[in-house]
Structure 1
Amino acid sequence: MTTIPEIARAAGVSTATVDRVLNRRTPVRESTSRRVLDAAFSLGYVTSSDVERLSESEPLTLAFLLPRGTNPYLALVNHRAHAFVERNRRDARVKSYFIDGFDPDELARSIRHFARRADGVIFMAIDHPKVRAATDEIVASGKQAITFISDISTSRRHAYVGIDNFAAGRTAALILGRFNGGREGRVALIAASRIYRAHMEREVGFLGLVEERFPGLSVSATREGHDDRDENYQHTRRLLDKHPDIIGLYNVGGSSDGIGRALRESGRAQDITFVGHGLTRDTRAMLADGTMDAVITQDPDALFEAAVLAATKGTPPVVTAELYLSENMPPE
């Protein structure tokens, strides 16, 4: 009768590796698993149906961490992520968890906590030393770490999935400047928080292009609205009251509906060029009624597919930014 040590010798691996493959205890590299199964089959230890069953990889379990709050785009991403996995993939299971997205301590704790339960963690990164340390720890323990929408610097994370945010900020500045047709005036920025590298890169890109191409535009100091519609509303009301010369607004983050509400109440929605991020039901409505002029977005299906591929295959496809105006919105 064939023994485990015989299979190990034939496959050129340890007996522990043979045990892991045949009993599916922990993940084994695909090429190694194939050698073990081929050896076990040739020695008569398993049947062809056993080989087929054992060749099917266990679904990867992924924890998906998103900031809690009123950002409609992140809610849409969460909904579409689960629908995509159910519809398209058998090699990944996803559970979402909403956390305080502006607290590096909570994010670091959550990364460590959920990595103990899952094979990998997908998270919208805060570029902070505590988050970098937590990321490096879970990678060292053999878990996947994928940053999503906003990246993290100098860490061992496996991949970043999202658009080029510096280019997105420059695109927003180009649209805003061109739509204003050379008028001089003030433009204002509202971000969630600069602790998100994505928002910082968008702001830097925006400011750089304004300085290069539109010297007649002055830029007010960026307000941080924490992707909260009520905070964004209050910031916009104060900006409009303080600066009657505002001709443009760029929402670097989400929850644009709060900004739109303030613009409509002021009676200046049709006079101020408004560019934001995330094509959702609220931004669609604002594009349609003219409150918003342009929306830069990332397709939720493409975004999450790239994240799952990064976790399961190691190489995510490039996620490109999409630009929508009132006349080219896709079907909902």
Structure 2
Amino acid sequence: MPDSENKPLLVDIAARAGVSMATVDRVMNRRKGVADRTRRRVLEAARAVGYVGEAEAEHIGAARPMNVTVLLPSGTNPYLRLLGDRVRARVERSGVTDPFLRCYFIESFNAAALADALRKSAGWADAIAFFAIEHPEVRAAAAEVATQGTRLVTIVSNLGERAGISHVGLDNHAVGRTAGLLVGRLAGRDAGAVALVAGSRNYRAHSEREAGFLSLIDEMFPGLKLVGLREGHDDAAENYRHTLALLEQEPDLAGIYNVGGSSGGITRALRERGRENVVFVGHGLTADTRRALLDGTMDAVFDQDPDLLIDRAIRTLAEPDTRPAALKLDIYFRENLP
């Protein structure tokens, strides 16, 4: 080996391999974006100039775990915060052969911000799991990133079949019908009003749940009138204000289905107005919905296990030719809380 004064540098490797310094840096740091043939040439040059030994070159050249970025909406939605916490916990306990995970929260309902995050994440990530907003800007960014070789999977909410991107989540139309069945049966009334609160129709998951709910109510409980969908943007304060308005405007309100998250705002309004008799079904088993089930303000909570969701997303990214089946829907009542 040369002495310290003549120790070979990255520039020596670049010159011998006939590549740029940036390419050498990517290879030596096991980053993405280098063809296998070029990677081998750089490692051969690194050995030849004495920068690395045989064993180290083999380690650098070995197949590395995927770099995976998870993009989630920011805001007050407790379930999405829980999902982010589970991703970070997975990072802390990951082993040397597990994927490298990063998790970022993107401004909720901002299609331009999500599209920008997809493009920026593709610089590091081999694969991206993201909570999709159904919007042309997001579809264009996803198509661009996929064409460049980054694997994609949508979680919870997808971009639709025509996007050609695998999805991990629930059968949301069936979920909405199940919610309609529960609200109608538990209300036990031939007449009255039912209301929907959603994050945004720009989330395909929310629009599909809405459609399923409406179809079931129309088929089985025609005496229940829908009083319109309110978009609360998964914000507890907005959901609180919407619920107060509903209770004021609809004295015969029989039930509420929160299609999205942040049910705490709805339960707060129901408690303040003494309207725990209103059937309330929502999503995401978190600390606030657990309390609401226990005190009777909520009747049922639909859940998709966050750890299973992450596991299935990573497996789908690792095996891009497979098409994942819909996740199992967990339904919790006060009496079967885990």
TM-score range (shorter-chain normalised) is 0.7 to 0.9
Number of aligned pairs? 297
Which of 314, 317, 321 matches 1:311?
Answer: 317
CA RMSD of aligned residues (A): 2.7
Task: Tell me the equivalent position of 2:303.
Answer: 297
Which of 159, 162, 175 matches 1:168?
Answer: 175
Task: Tell me the equivalent position of 2:126.
Answer: 119
Name stretches of at least 5 consecutive residues in structure 2 with no aligned partner.
Answer: 1-26, 41-53
Distance 1:198-1:122 versus aligned 2 partners, 3 A rule? same
Q: Which amino acid aligns with 1:321?
A: L
Task: Tell me the equivalent position of 2:215.
Answer: 208
Task: Tell me the equivalent position of 1:327.
Answer: 335
1:213-232 equivalences in 2 (<5 Å): 213-232=220-239
1:147-296 equivalences in 2 (<5 Å): 147-154=154-161, 156-269=163-276, 271-296=277-302
Residue 63 (1) aligns with residue 60 (2): no
State whether residues 57 and 91 of structure 1, in contact with CA within 8 Å, keep that contact through their aligned partners in structure 2: no
CA distance in 1, matches of 2:34, 2:337: 45
State whether residues 166 and 204 of structure 1, in contact with CA within 8 Å, keep that contact through their aligned partners in structure 2: yes
Task: Tell me the equivalent position of 1:6.
Answer: none
CA distance in 1, matches of 2:297, 2:278: 8
Distance 1:116-1:25 versus aligned 2 partners, 3 A rule? closer
Distance 1:179-1:55 versus aligned 2 partners, 3 A rule? farther
Q: Which amino acid aligns with 1:274?
A: F
CA distance in 2, matches of 1:111, 1:292: 36
1:19-168 equivalences in 2 (<5 Å): 53=59, 57-87=63-93, 90-154=97-161, 156-168=163-175
Choose 59-68 or 307-316, whichever is displaced more. 307-316
* C-alpha distance after superposition, 1:288-314 (max 9, x if no partner): 000000000100000010111111222
CA distance in 2, matches of 1:179, 1:52: 64
Task: Tell me the equivalent position of 1:7.
Answer: none
CA distance in 2, matches of 1:217, 1:275: 16
State whether residues 135 and 155 of structure 1, in contact with CA within 8 Å, keep that contact through their aligned partners in structure 2: no
Q: Which amino acid aligns with 2:235?
A: D
Q: Which amino acid aligns with 2:142?
A: T
CA distance in 2, matches of 1:316, 1:281: 33
3-state SS in 2 of match to 1:150? coil
Choose 148-157 or 177-186, whichever is displaced more. 148-157
CA distance in 2, matches of 1:284, 1:25: 43
State whether residues 31 and 124 of structure 2, in contact with CA within 8 Å, keep that contact through their aligned partners in structure 1: no
Deviation at 1:91, TM superposition (A): 2.8
State whether residues 87 and 103 of structure 2, in contact with CA within 8 Å, keep that contact through their aligned partners in structure 1: no
CA distance in 2, matches of 1:309, 1:243: 47
State whether residues 187 and 246 of structure 1, in contact with CA within 8 Å, keep that contact through their aligned partners in structure 2: yes
Question: What is the identity percentage for the equivalent residue pairs of Structure 1 and Structure 2?
Answer: 48
